[in-house]
Amino acid sequence: MREQGLQKPEGHSLRTEKLSCVRGDKLLFRDLNLALLPGQAGLLTGPNGVGKSSLLRLIAGLLDPFSGSIQVPASVALCDDRMAMDENLPLASALHFWARMDGKRSGDVANAISALNMEHLAEVPIRYFSTGQRQRARLARTFLTAADLWLLDEPANGLDSASVERLGGALQAHLDGGGIILAASHIALPIDFDVTLRLTAMERMETQT
């Protein structure tokens, strides 16, 4: 029997209790417990297809859990392979649009662009970006939110070593400011993780008639 999962803002921590996820007939994970406090970072590891991306989307509120509960901080930002910006706009204009939506200032946009060394791309339409540049644009959008919890799905994909170092600096600054990070990454990120959670393959669900 499928239970309605509970997701609610409460305090400033991230917590899951007995969280289970099913996609189709496949049980991705069951009874997953995770807790991260302000200033802490968690790393998700495991082979492809075991539910790392699904867990991030569950926490972001984009999927419903099969069972269990999720407690999240007041604001959450997910960075995955989706470009949540108008690709016909120059980077700065696209970020300014979201800054207005989020109640941020122009200086916040400049800081997000600078954090990833993208000043020279500020007036270039996103559709012309390379794979690595597109990834940095997605990260800049995440940084701009200043959300309490950053959910990062393979954040270093397509980045060169210098960009990974810049990413690490931005992540550490977020943690130092009391933010929380949960990342799934097969590329080593230059920060210390307080929690490492390895997901493994589970069984398929039996169909009952």
In the chain, where are the structural domains located?
79-184
What pTM was estimated for this model as a whole?
Answer: 0.89
Checking 28-34 for CB contacts under 8 A at 24+ apart, the result is 28/54, 28/55, 28/199, 28/202, 29/55, 29/199, 29/202, 30/202, 31/68, 32/68, 32/197, 34/182, 34/195, 34/197
Q: What is the pLDDT of residue 160?
A: 94
Q: Identify the three-state secondary structure at position 152.
A: strand
Whether the predicted pLDDT of 7 surpasses 90? no
What backbone torsions phi and psi does residue 49 show, to the nearest 5 degrees? 85, 5
C-alpha 125/C-alpha 134 separation (Å) is: 11
- Residue 81: pLDDT band (50, 70, 90) is very high
Whether the predicted pLDDT of 74 surpasses 60? yes
- Residue 146: pLDDT band (50, 70, 90) is confident
CATH number of 79-184: 3.40.50.300
CB atoms within 10 A of CB 100: 12
- pLDDT tens-digit map of 102-137: 777 768 999 999 999 999 999 999 999 999 999 999
C-alpha 186/C-alpha 180 separation (Å) is: 19
Sheet hosting strand 26-36, strand order edge to edge: 6-9, 67-72, 14-23, 26-36
- pLDDT tens-digit map of 148-178: 999 999 999 999 999 999 999 999 999 999 9
Contact predicate 117/161, CB 8 Å = no
CB atoms within 10 A of CB 107: 9
